[in-house]
Amino acid sequence: MKRRPPSGLAARFLMLWTAAVLATATAFVVHLALRYRNVALGYEVGEARREQRRLLEQKRLLAIEAETLRRIPRVEAVARGALEMNVPEPARVVPMADRQHRPRRTSGRVR
């Protein structure tokens, strides 16, 4: 049997069918690319949330530590131990009420 050359209608059908297959394949590849990016973004969001939880926990622990370090017994222990400070003699303590009535003395250079 001899093959006939494709008629105008058959050539047009073949061209449209090829275009449809290419469009479908392109849409499928685009879908896969978008799906891959969506999954990758999901992993990034999960990692960011884990980092956020870790940082919030670290902030909480640091706030507790800062509060502990500000307590008077701790400050006094550091002042006496590391800084070698002592309680001042009563003569060196100036009450604030008396200070308001005394004339102010300047120390250092007067501007």
- Asked whether residue 92 is domain-assigned, the answer is no
Instruction: Judge whether 49 lies within some domain.
Output: yes
pTM of the model: 0.50
Boundaries of domain holding 69 = 14-86
Contact yes or no for 85/79 (Cβ under 8 A)? yes
Taking only the tens of pLDDT, the chain with its 111 residues reads 667 665 788 889 999 999 999 999 999 999 999 999 999 999 999 999 999 999 999 999 999 999 988 888 888 888 888 888 888 888 888 877 655 565 666 666 655
Let me know how many helices (H) and strands (E) the chain has, helices first: 3, 0
Number of domains observed in the structure of the chain: 1
Whether 45 is in a domain gets the answer yes
User: What whole-number distance in Å separates Cα of residue 98 and Cα of residue 101?
Assistant: 6
Secondary-structure percent of the chain, ordered helix, strand, coil, rounded to 5: 75, 0, 25
Q: Is residue 65 part of a domain?
A: yes
Residue 71 resides in a domain = yes
Query: Residue 24: inside a domain, yes or no?
Result: yes
Dihedrals φ, ψ of 42, to 5°? -60, -40
DSSP one-letter code for 90: G
